Amino acid sequence: MNDRPELFRGNRILLGCIYWAFVLYVFVPLILMVLMGFKDSRFIGFPIRSWTLDWYVGVFANTEVLSTFGYSIAIAVLSTLISVFVGTWIAVLLESRKFTGRPVIFGLTVLPALVPGIISAIAFRIYARWLGIEPGMGAIIWSHAVHNVPFVVLVVMARLSTLPKSQMEAARDLGADPLVAFVRITLPYLVPAILGASIFCLLLSFDDFVRSFFLGGYEPTLPVLIFAMLRSGMSPEINAIATVALIMTAGIGIWAERFTRRMKKDT
Amino acid sequence: MTDPTPLVRIDGLSKHFGDTVALENLTLDIPQGQFVTFLGPSGCGKSTTLRILGGFERPTTGRVLLDGEDVTNQPPEKRQVNMVFQDYALFPHMTVAQNISFGLELKGMGRDAIRRRSSEIMAFLELEDFGARYPLQLSGGQRQRVALARALAPDPALLLLDEPLGALDAKLRGQVQQELKSIQRRTDKTFFFVTHDQEEALTMSDRIIVMNKGRMEQDGTPEELYFRPASRFVAEFLGETNLLTGRMRGTEGGQIVMDWQGTTLRGKAPRSLPGEGQPVSASVRLEKLDFHAQRPETGNAVQGRVVAKTFLGSRMALQIAVGDQAEAMLKAYVDVDTSERVGSDPVWIGWDPDHMAVLND
């Protein structure tokens, strides 16, 4: 019994070391990438003799990069709206009552999240051609929306399962028909989950390469553009674009996490 | 119960969940203005009845009439019935005032009328200072009052209360019992209260319906149920009692005559009589036993010996062994003076036949 605290302390130190090794492993590449975006030389590597913001100036002056940014954001927003609408709908349907075939429907709903990206991308491509859908924005939005629905369903269902049955009954008791009760009671309760799921969908869509690559037309999304630029050789301009994208997504992610946590605590 | 159209008429109500019978052929009239309590252990059918009245369950058979109108198949939002839920079910994203206004808005009341009515009801329940607060910022007792205010605001014909005191601590519960009773009197509303707590039922109700296994055991005032229980279940469920199991001798002058521990006792007759020589039981409340040095002239009497005394503050509880070999035990509540008078010598215990209810098992 007496040596247990000692053992525990040893464990803690070991766990701490492993943790910091992990953090380094994850962040060193990111830090290097960010640093190279400020280096006053086309050659990527140490030492850095002088610093510059030229690459950033170049990126912000490059209309192609800027319009691609906008294009990616538009795709992310539209596909997110569709996934949230469809996902919430399915979640409410699945959670509201137990019916035969519910596990099957749930399984089919979640499946798109588990199919490897490359396979679903090729399948979408074939399906789109068969339906006569031209590659381009619509096709990308469609594939992103389908891929993201399972995440919305899972998050919203988890939240919905914590809504006491008496809440809906109380609303009905006070004169609300099922639709009014849903809009006035259930939806506000789901807002934190829907917001969280939306942010997740936005980031997933913004980040997606495979589907965007296979279903894209002549206009590239940001990851596709970066890929194209890489083929003509590594440039610090890419580091600058990546750094901007990194700050944006990390910022949104952190804000959303804190925001939804606070909202859940309030309700 | 001679009222031609009672506020609520429950007519042959049954509810089956698969093979389980939750409620079996319940028929009942509730006049306007009564505080009615459904009392019973869990699974007795009291909550099922409440949920059928609220419109949350459909009965398997039978009808519910509200003010003469058949509402059996009406959804909850169409009924002039409101409910105080066991967990209060306050809407967490709305303030107290918004919670209370919710039912008024859905009734289609105008903005001014809503404000007038909700401040009236908040003043009535002393909630004026809490209008802008959220339910999470309130104590248990305050939440309970908000739930009551929200249910009363739309002016329902019938108010359903589903064990609303269960979540409160013991001290607060006593206070809220008084409050609820006085609110019911002042509003002259019909309250339909469901509980498994016999003390709650006895203190608040005008009328108690004791339920057991989906059936009505007895329907009466608290006093009737307490002193004249119709069945062993009611006698044991409400308060403490002495249950004397003996043998039936016959009837005499409207009273039952029975043998118990070699003594002949008399008691009030139940609705149906057991046959002569059949086993029979009777209930005598603990506070109805008197102690005498000599055998009393009238009434029931047995000789016994006090074997234990327990001080309970306002009174003493005595354990009495009856018979030479202490074949049976009785319990009695007496005041402290009486208990000092009674020593360990044999003593006569007497009680009025009117205070002994012969029971249907």
Please determine, for residue B218, whether its predicted confidence score (pLDDT) is greater than 80: yes
Choose among B82, B87, B93: nearest Cβ to A173.
B82
Range with lowest mean pLDDT among A98-102, B128-132, B226-230 = A98-102
Nearest C-alpha neighbor of B77 from the set A166, A170, A96:
A170
pLDDT score for B99: 95
- Residues contacting B194, CB < 8 A, separation 6+: B37, B38, B46, B47, B49, B50, B160, B161, B162, B163
Whether B289 shows a pLDDT value over 80: the answer reads yes
DSSP A123-168: HHHHHHHHHTPPSSHHHHHHHHHHHHHHHHHHHHHHHHTTS-HHHH
A143 in Cβ contact with A215 (< 8 Å): yes
Dihedral angle at the C-alpha atoms of B187, B164, B211, B217, nearest 10 degrees?
Answer: -40
* pLDDT of A2 above 60: no
Hey, where are the domains in chain A? 62-266
pLDDT at A265 over 80: no
Residue B88 in this model has a pLDDT that exceeds 80 = yes
CATH code, A62-266: 1.10.3720.10
pLDDT tier, B3 (very low <50, low <70, confident <90, very high otherwise) = low
C-alpha span between B13 and B33 (Å, rounded): 22
Reported as a pLDDT band with limits 50, 70 and 90, residue A255 is confident
- Among A254-258, B23-27, B209-213, B287-291, which is the least confidently predicted range? A254-258
Confidence of residue A6 (pLDDT cuts 50, 70, 90): low
* Residue A173 contacts B where some CB pair is shorter than 8 Å: yes
Residue A264: its pLDDT value, please?
Answer: 63
Task: Please state, for a pLDDT cut of 70, what percent of chain A lies above it.
Answer: 96
Q: Quick one: DSSP state of residue A235?
A: -
B340 pLDDT more than 90: no
For each of the domains in chain B, give its residue range(s) and CATH number, in order of start: 8-231 (3.40.50.300), 240-359 (2.40.50.100)
Stretch A195-210: mean pLDDT: 91
Least confident of A18-22, A161-165, B269-273: B269-273
Q: What angle do CA B134, A259, A142 make, to 5 degrees?
A: 120
Mutate to test the interface with A, among B51, B81, B83, B158 (most CBs of A within 10 A): B83
In this prediction, residue B48 carries a pLDDT of: 92
- Looking at residue B312, its pLDDT comes to 86
Q: How many CB pairs under 8 A join A and B?
A: 64
- For position A187, what pLDDT does the model report? 93
pLDDT (0 to 100) of residue B1: 46
All residues at 6 or more sequence positions from B253 whose CB lies less than 8 Å from its CB, including other chains: none
Contact A180 B102 (CB under 8 A): no
Q: Do A175 and B54 touch (CB under 8 A)?
A: no
pLDDT at B248: 86
- Residue B26 to chain A, least CA–CA distance (Å): 23
Name the residue with tokens 């990069």.
Answer: A65
Instruction: Give the gap in angstroms from C-alpha A154 to the nearest C-alpha of chain B.
Output: 23
Q: In angstroms, how far is the first alpha carbon of chain A from the final one?
A: 44
Contact B171, B20 (CB under 8 A): no
Q: What is the DSSP letter of A51?
A: B
